[in-house]
Structure 1
């Protein structure tokens, strides 16, 4: 079959697209196109330009689909998402299709892991994990999926250390369109980071949560959950090993994100990190309920109980003053201040009780309490 992208490498340094974007050097190259550092001559600033495979440019329906996907992505204005400026085609170059994007000078997480094959320390991973989680959840709230979250699509800015998520949906749409146009089979995503549902072609926000968990797993351990053998089979059927050298609470959160079934994964990337956060927030040796979740357990045939888990770290036993000081205005006689000593620890919820939590535990409407 003919090479689906014969014109990508024929572009040269100094070429100007649409009379506006002067190509300076290639900064990325993959199956779905070449990424160039370019100068926007009109606005006098630096941009990144992704030139898509020529076969997509020549197909009007394919180009229209990519243009529509790009239009949807214009809604993704977030501090940790690489901004898409526009989708263009250059009639002087056989309608070559390209994306004009924000340029972030830095290194991808994939590059950083190449220099740290055993994984990165938690304190280094934690800030960008929170930033990328916020970006993914923001996109999901807009009804937009990424579909290819992986270390290669996360860039850490050199000057600030801030993390950005790249290629939001565009690369996957290009792959899907390439399959339709050329007949060459491909998948939306990168295999080691794909959920069982994504392997089957089912689009769901939980696919991104799985991919985010697999990316965090690799960031901390140096490799994704499955790396050898029949990876697709393992993703569908084999439980991943707990990440080596990772504290139990964080390990449990990652494994929850890598659950085979959608309903067993956290509902958002923020929820995944909320479970992981207990590894750094809870006091040493503390054991308490997890974030709000429900699980049914059969104690005996026909007898089923439902457990509700709520985020509530332990508080060590101590003393405190109860009552009001004598100097307090309008103090009642029964409010004499006295010291109370607690001899046993207790759990204290990290947030106020929500209606959902009250209903889950009490089975009633809290407004009627």
Structure 2
């Protein structure tokens, strides 16, 4: 007999381990819909508070490039958050299983949506801290990109916030920013990680450009070495003139995003989203084939109303963190 949570959610299977606990698929027996459930044990007050805030943030924002949250509750010494189930694939899966099958137009649309999701998080005072292909999901029914798993997220209250959980560095090593490798986060930490992810995506590389088999060598590369320009990794002779121009512009965007100095990066991911959308426009008239069979559009700018809500949430998070 399958497990029934909260007298409502029938657990189907475990689908992964998130930043703060296990994640399961389940059926909402009230609505007959599939959902995802994140579960953590009640042995860490910080994790419980983080999960509660994550749920509140996602419920309040309800942005198309962030996963939807339905409810948070505690039952039998465990904390649960119920999320929408995304019927789709991770960017990691697309990179490895459909290498070079997506057009540059599709890539730019995805890049724009990822950047927009990160902009919403950062504007609301949330630093994700674990931006990587596995945490980017594509809904294959709607073409929407979702930034998922805020389990390692940090409420940003000042320029440099601690980045430790029980003394450990938080994040995935080969997608970290230089300051993250030294247990710090800044307002542009996610920008650097986004730059790494997109460098890998636009070049269809199997791994992060900083990846090595040695963790220490990887961290050293992140701190001191520059990535290879994407234009040197792409066969520019095999693409059209418009695509060449697009890659050159993308290269400049990524170079700034990957600056070692946090203050020299783009101030927010929304600027990157807008630029990817602009670069994409001249390519739309070219004949494009989409083997993945679904349409992917670029993101829309944040509305003034949502912008105001995010600024308010950022202030509230800051007040709570300073009081605690």
TM-score (norm 1): 0.63
- 1:254 and 1:263 map into 2 onto residues whose CA distance is 15
Match of 1:353 in 2: none
Contact 2:112 2:276 in 1 (8 A): no
Q: Which has the higher helix share?
A: 2
Is 2:89–2:140's contact at 8 Å kept on the other side of the alignment?
yes
Q: Contact (CA 8 Å) 1:259, 1:265: kept in 2 or not?
A: yes
How much does 1:62 deviate? 4.5
Q: In structure 1, the residue corresponding to 2:127 is in which secondary structure? A: coil
**Where do 1:196-235 residues align within 5 Å?**
196-221=178-203, 222=205, 223-228=207-212, 229=214, 230-235=217-222
Contact 1:195/1:211 (8 A) holds in 2: yes
Match of 1:143?
125
Tell which deviates more after alignment, 68-77 or 212-221: 68-77
Relative to structure 1, the CA distance from residue 21 to residue 278 in structure 2 (aligned partners, 3 Å threshold; closer, same or farther) is: closer
Aligned to 2:84: 102
Alignment correspondent of 1:88: 73
Structure 1, gaps ≥5 residues long: 1-12, 284-369
Match in the other structure for 1:239: 226
> What is aligned with 1:352?
none
RMSD: 2.8
Shift of 1:120: 5.0
2:146 aligned partner: 164
CA 68–278 in structure 1, closer or farther in 2 if over 3 Å, else same: closer
Using the TM superposition, give the Cα deviation of residue 282 of structure 1 relative to its aligned residue in structure 2, in angstroms. Answer: 7.5
| TM-aligned CA deviation for residue 114 of structure 1 | 1.6
Find the structure with the greater CA-based Rg. 1
Classify 1:73/1:237 alpha carbon distance in 2 versus 1 (closer, same or farther; 3 Å). Answer: same
1:189 match: secondary structure:
coil
Q: Which residue of 2 aligns with 1:7?
A: none
CA distance in 1 between counterparts of 2:116 and 2:273 reads: 10
The structure with higher relative contact order (CA 8 Å, sep 6+) is 2
Judging changes above 3 Å, is the alpha-carbon distance between structure 1 residues 282 and 44 closer, same or farther for their aligned structure 2 residues?
closer
Residue of structure 2 in register with 1:134 after alignment: 116
Residue 24 of structure 1, aligned match among 7, 12, 18: 12
Query: Secondary structure of 1:224's match?
Result: coil
SS at match of 2:184: coil
Q: How far did 1:179 drift?
A: 3.5
Corresponding pairs, count: 258
Displacement of 1:277 in angstroms is 6.0
Partner of 1:37 in structure 2? 25
Residue 252 of structure 1, CA deviation = 1.6
Consecutive aligned runs of 4 or more in structure 1 exceeding 4 Å deviation = 117-120, 273-283
* SS at 2:22 equivalent: strand
Match of 2:55 in 1: 70
Task: Report the CA distance shift for 1:60/1:235 in structure 2 as closer, same or farther (over 3 A).
Answer: closer
1:31 Cα offset (Å): 6.4
Q: Show CA shifts across 1:189-227 (max 9, x none).
A: 211111112222323231111111111111112132211
Q: Is the 8 A contact 1:26 1:35 kept in 2?
A: yes
Relative to structure 1, the CA distance from residue 195 to residue 248 in structure 2 (aligned partners, 3 Å threshold; closer, same or farther) is: same
Identify if the C-alpha distance between structure 1 residues 240 and 60 changes in structure 2 by more than 3 Å, giving closer, same or farther.
Answer: closer
CA distance in 1, matches of 2:177, 2:82: 30
Q: Which residue of 2 aligns with 1:266?
A: 266
User: Gaps (5+ residues) in structure 2?
Assistant: 155-161, 237-246, 284-324
Find the residue that maps to 1:130 and give its secondary structure. helix
Cα pair distance change 1:64/1:224, threshold 3 Å: closer
